[in-house]
Structure 1
Amino acid sequence: MKNYKLKVGVLLSSALMMVAVSCSDEFLDVPATGALAEAQLTTLAGLEASLIAAYSQVNGRGNRLASPSNWVWGSIRGGDANKGTDPGDFSTINPIQRFEINAASGEVGSKWNADYEGIARANNVLRLMANKAADVTVADEARISAQAKFLRAHYYFELKRDYGNTPYVDETVDYGSGLEEVSNTQDLYPFIEADLKFAIANLPAVPSQVGRINSWGAKALLAKVYLYQKKYAEAKTLFDDVIANGVTSKGDKYGLVANYGDMYRGANDNHKESVWVYQAAANTGSTANANPEFDLNYPYNGGPAGCCGFFQPSFTFANSFRTDANGLPLLDGSYNAPANRVKNDMGILSFDPLKPSENVFTPDAGPLDPRIDHTIGRRDLPYLDWGNHPGAAWIRNQPNGGPYTPKKYIYQRAEIGKFQDGSSWTAGYTGMNFMMIRFADVLLMAAEVEVEVGSLEKARDYVNMIRTRAMNSNLKTGGVDAANYKIGLYTTPFASAAAARSAVRFERKLELGMEGHRFYDLVRWDIIQSEMDAYFALDGSILTAALGGAKYTDKYKFVPIPQDQIDLVGPEILIQNPGF
């Protein structure tokens, strides 16, 4: 399968030379070992296998910076988290978090290559379908093609958000006939919309197998695509339909899981909050079937996996969970003021009997949204079922990443060998699915739309639904709350569209934190500069070696087009993003 980049198709000069010098072409009739003829792939079984290959690319196939969680591109760039660990470990992430990456960086090409590989696989399904075998019915063709087009739309949407416009290639391009130069001057959104509309029209509400995309997931993604373009009326129609009528791949009606933390447990995979989900399985004989999303992103030197200390929640993000006397967030940004900052154990040893005065840690006693302790590992509080978080003992390098550890999508001790796969170099592979769109995300996107069309009360209803679930998810220890949890509802109408907008946007930060959304949200809201300035002002002043002097500038709202791709066809064909 070609991983076409800009020049679509490759002239195989060595093969041409072999043909030119041979006195007979009989050797060409010998089939390649392990190869499948096209006739085998155009059967129903062959098409289904090709479609599975297109699905499998969603997780990036071992490329950590191409993963659908966007833990680097969405969360670290958005200030939810710092890279963490040691400065020299996976050091190519350092310039990404500092907004200093350039077009020659290999990491710039990692997401690009993985998404175009996914597009190639989806296009391959559609190309094979043109010569479908007799056992492929009209219904089969519609069902398989719809899934392939949904996946192609997903990959192009990922490219659009990261790089802006990129070359568009579909199944009609004959990339085996020679060198075809493809530019990036076309807007990707019309193509993405067309694929998703086809998918919606041809996908079942409940698919034949759990894990395959259904029409509701396609509607949710199309509504999200509309939202990014500020097509609020079109987005509202779809969001209303998904919220009122949507069902999971199991046929259950969408809803909020009663306890916030239960969403991230393997035994609950494909629960009623699952809208568009990447499937994973552990202990199948190959970690290729497991979820590689966060294999580096566990506490260091203890607890689950014991490696490798990446993806540490930021000070700014932790402070965002501070609430006022009514249990509401501090929407004015005062959560980063010294009096409101969450107390932590930065610079304090976990335990050293020779230096008892250095072990003193005073836990935070102020009011906090309980979602902080479902999202962030904090000292002396329960870390799932691994016992209390010991603090610095689980941190690889506090001065480089801070005192916190991630907590979502971390396997429990009880899940070892069930939803955790220890057959590779790390114990960090899991059988837990990753939710790319979950129902709370849909509700909050719908709330955004309601604000923009003037339905402030409907937006307040949606936000309060999210907050009500959070109220019921307090972390307990010994039968009592583990911290001073205080969360309330918005009990009076929003004073203005601006006030409603602020509340909805902050709720996304709290609800969806560390799930790869933040940077993309800030860019589309056009508030990225002020938010990143506040993040660097605090986190950069504490983690001076990692973040000191770093600053966001507007050219970084998109990743640069990989320089090696431009070199293939020239800068007049593939246009670099401004500023690079």
Structure 2
Amino acid sequence: MRKLLYPFIISCLGVGGLISCDKSYLDKSTYGTLDAASLANKNGLESLLIGSYSMLDGYSVGTTTLGSWSSAASNWVYGSIAGGDAHKGSTGTDQPEINAIEAYIPIPTNGFFSDKWKVVYEGVTRANIVLKTMPGATDISAADRKRIEGEARFLRAHYHFEAKKMWNLVPFIDETMTDFQVPNVKVNVANDQNIWPRIQADLQFAYDNLPELQGAIGRANKWSAGAMLGKCLLFQKKYAEAKVVLEQVYQRGVNPSGVKYGLLDKYQDNFNAATKNSRESIFASQSSVNDGASAANANYGDVLNAPYGGPFDCCGFFQPSQDLVNSYKVSATGLPDFDTYNTNPVTSDEGIAITDPFTPYSGTVDSRLDWTVGRRGIPFLDYGPHQGISWQRDQAYGGPYNTKKNVYYKSQKGTLTDGSFWASTVTAINTNLIRFADVILWLAECEAEGGDLTKARAYVNEVRARAAKSSSWVMKDGTNSPAANYKVGLYEQAWPDQATARKAVHFERKLELGMEGHRFFDLVRWGEAESTLTKYLQYESTLRTYLVGVKFTAGKNEYFPIPQRQIDLSNNVLKQNTGY
């Protein structure tokens, strides 16, 4: 259901009768414009709606190509690199725009911000075009009208949510401000209002009006709208309200196939193109390959993010930090250490040639480490043991680890990767925007903030119990023996106070969702960005010399600069964020 907007529009333009001499042959819409009348019907609205869905992955081709890895659905640059999960990787001179983001010195003319802005507001505009066109449609039922409006408003809310996380004060654009014939945001809308109420209203409408089941995988349903609404409420610290809706998703939510949402038995199946759209996937950006679209429907945003060398042809970016790796260390009881996990770090092979011996860390670790991070000597999917420095473009720069969650299996090359592209790293792996583990941990957060620490602990233990099962462990190739010393314990003892509960819940999100693009935005909404990232930089700068002297500035770095190009186009109606 992706990337169908432009072909549909072309078909709507009409070419008339090729041999007719009727004067009506001249009565046509201008080539290259949208004809509102021809789209004001059920088929037209569905196609326009697909056009809005198609922006979820942050990339679109057509008369204009929009987006790239700078606007990836995974938010790997803004959520994970800025959040301390990872370094840019590759080499210092490749994609230098990311260097400034990692060093917390972004500037308004950085092209990455402009790309992200254009993509999210293109998604907004496409959703608005659906809403603006719908009143003219006479062939749709009341049920379809509610559903289509619900989907369009859900998507509009999602794209505005992305903008809000990135820049805080941003314009909210609705269908009354959208010109059908010129699908671009009206840049003279001021960014002087808090748009959370507008986002919440759209999500509430979607939750109230979308069906529980949809006719196609990938469409938003009542429960994905409820999960997103709960997330919106959490970002506003409305914990009691969030709890009500998230409990409904937790207890009653079903996926498009009618299967009740739940955790998968195997943690790793959340990141495999062969097992996507599972009962754990509440809402995802859909990806497909080898479909005649020249990889335009693939997971293009993560194309740079795989090991470099050996069996991989691109590109060595997105390398996990030592801080993230150390976070997966556990005590004798299998529990994490929130405060001193960087003491006695996990052993790495940094600076050790592949021809020299290396023994992986023998201490106890959380099993999720080795489905999140590729490290030497541990099986890397079905490629055999990770080959350390020979799979890294510049280990001295990016570090000794590789990303893993967005990498295809060796056995999937050519079938679940796109053979028409310059690199095999364009895959059919979906980007999980919300999975059921998110909902569980959001509920844990609601309970921790509301004072029921017992319930909060039970929710966290539910997530940890999956990681404790051997089905979620990496095994040595060809054996049933664990590849590392895995131990994941449950919180058996009551948490003594709310501060401890908060630490446990927040740290569990780091472990469960590592490298999934959430960390920075979580730290900001919790008010923990300065303290956590200052400690991160103090530690990580001892390993990565380019981080020496880097500082997170409170009151500034919680948000990114408004793209200067957008300010210029608005004739300075848009105002820049503090400090830029």
Fold conserved (TM > 0.5)?
yes
Q: Distance in 1 between matches of 2:525 and 2:26?
A: 54
Offset at 1:30?
A: 5.2
Compared CA separation, residues 177 and 401, structure 1 to 2 (3 A): closer
Contact 2:308 2:314 (C-alpha < 8 Å) held by counterparts: yes
SS of corresponding position for 1:289: coil
Aligned to 1:298: 306
Structure 1 stretches of 5 or more lacking a match? 1-25, 352-358
SS of corresponding position for 1:217: helix
Q: Distance in 2 between matches of 1:174 and 1:404?
A: 45
* Deviates further, 71-80 or 264-273: 264-273
* Deviates further, 285-294 or 309-318: 285-294
Cα deviation, 1:113-165, whole Å, max 9, x if unaligned, reads 11000001000111111211x32222221111110100000000010010002
Cα deviation, 1:431-483, whole Å, max 9, x if unaligned, reads 12111000001100110000011111111101001111001112111221111
Contact 1:50 1:124 (C-alpha < 8 Å) held by counterparts: yes
Aligned to 1:105: 110
Offset at 1:376?
A: 0.3
Amino acid of the structure 2 residue aligned with 1:91 = P
Aligned to 2:363: 366
Offset at 1:294?
A: 1.4
Aligned to 1:563: 564
Q: Distance in 2 between matches of 1:569 and 1:391?
A: 49
Aligned to 1:14: none
- The one of 141, 166, 174 equivalent to 2:170 is 166
Amino acid of the structure 1 residue aligned with 2:487 = K
Aligned to 1:484: 485
Offset at 1:569?
A: 3.1
Q: Distance in 1 between matches of 2:569 and 2:36?
A: 29
1:474 counterpart = 2:473: yes
Contact 1:302 1:394 (C-alpha < 8 Å) held by counterparts: yes
Aligned to 1:521: 522
- The one of 380, 402, 421 equivalent to 1:383 is 380
* Deviates further, 44-53 or 417-426: 417-426
Offset at 1:238?
A: 0.7
What aligned pairs does 1:338-353 form with structure 2 within 5 A after superposition?
339=344, 341-351=345-355
- The one of 335, 342, 366 equivalent to 1:336 is 342
Amino acid of the structure 2 residue aligned with 1:117 = E
Offset at 1:34?
A: 5.9
Length, aligned pairs only: 541
Aligned to 2:51: 53
- Percent identity over the alignment is 46
Q: Distance in 2 between matches of 1:195 and 1:509?
A: 29
Aligned to 2:42: 44
Aligned to 2:4: none
Contact 1:65 1:73 (C-alpha < 8 Å) held by counterparts: no
Q: CA RMSD in A?
A: 1.7
Offset at 1:33?
A: 3.9
What aligned pairs does 1:150-299 form with structure 2 within 5 A after superposition?
150-173=154-177, 175=179, 181-286=188-293, 287-299=295-307
Offset at 1:417?
A: 2.5
Amino acid of the structure 2 residue aligned with 1:297 = N
Aligned to 1:549: 549
Offset at 1:409?
A: 2.1
Contact 2:124 2:160 (C-alpha < 8 Å) held by counterparts: yes
Q: Distance in 2 between matches of 1:146 and 1:176?
A: 20
Cα deviation, 1:210-255, whole Å, max 9, x if unaligned, reads 1111000000000000001110110000111111111112110011
Contact 1:296 1:428 (C-alpha < 8 Å) held by counterparts: yes
Q: Distance in 2 between matches of 1:163 and 1:174?
A: 21
SS of corresponding position for 2:393: coil
Amino acid of the structure 1 residue aligned with 2:166 = D
1:502 counterpart = 2:503: yes
Contact 2:68 2:301 (C-alpha < 8 Å) held by counterparts: no
Q: Distance in 2 between matches of 1:436 and 1:174?
A: 26
Q: Distance in 1 between matches of 2:187 and 2:246?
A: 39
Q: Distance in 1 between matches of 2:165 and 2:462?
A: 28
Compared CA separation, residues 120 and 174, structure 1 to 2 (3 A): closer
Q: Distance in 2 between matches of 1:174 and 1:263?
A: 37
Offset at 1:342?
A: 0.3
Q: Distance in 1 between matches of 2:314 and 2:136?
A: 48
Cα deviation, 1:41-95, whole Å, max 9, x if unaligned, reads 1121111110000000111114212112100000000000000000111111100
Compared CA separation, residues 309 and 165, structure 1 to 2 (3 A): same
SS of corresponding position for 1:87: coil
Q: Distance in 2 between matches of 1:557 and 1:526?
A: 9
Compared CA separation, residues 451 and 112, structure 1 to 2 (3 A): same
Amino acid of the structure 1 residue aligned with 2:98 = I
Aligned to 2:456: 459
Amino acid of the structure 1 residue aligned with 2:146 = A
TM-score normalised over the length of structure 2: 0.91
Compared CA separation, residues 283 and 255, structure 1 to 2 (3 A): same
1:311 counterpart = 2:315: no
Contact 2:125 2:178 (C-alpha < 8 Å) held by counterparts: no
Q: Distance in 2 between matches of 1:182 and 1:264?
A: 39
Contact 2:206 2:225 (C-alpha < 8 Å) held by counterparts: yes
Structure 2 stretches of 5 or more lacking a match? 1-23, 60-66
Cα deviation, 1:279-331, whole Å, max 9, x if unaligned, reads 1111111111212131100100123x421000000010000001111110011
Compared CA separation, residues 39 and 321, structure 1 to 2 (3 A): same
1:81 counterpart = 2:79: no
SS of corresponding position for 2:461: helix
Aligned to 2:328: 321
Contact 1:463 1:504 (C-alpha < 8 Å) held by counterparts: yes
Q: Distance in 1 between matches of 2:411 and 2:535?
A: 39
Contact 2:285 2:431 (C-alpha < 8 Å) held by counterparts: yes
Q: Distance in 1 between matches of 2:307 and 2:108?
A: 32
Offset at 1:408?
A: 0.4
Contact 2:367 2:467 (C-alpha < 8 Å) held by counterparts: yes
Q: Distance in 1 between matches of 2:123 and 2:441?
A: 28
Offset at 1:570?
A: 4.0
Amino acid of the structure 2 residue aligned with 1:326 = T
Q: Distance in 2 between matches of 1:267 and 1:181?
A: 45
Aligned to 2:144: 140
Q: Distance in 1 between matches of 2:83 and 2:404?
A: 18
TM-score normalised over the length of structure 1: 0.91
Amino acid of the structure 2 residue aligned with 1:369 = D
Offset at 1:363?
A: 1.6
Aligned to 1:511: 512
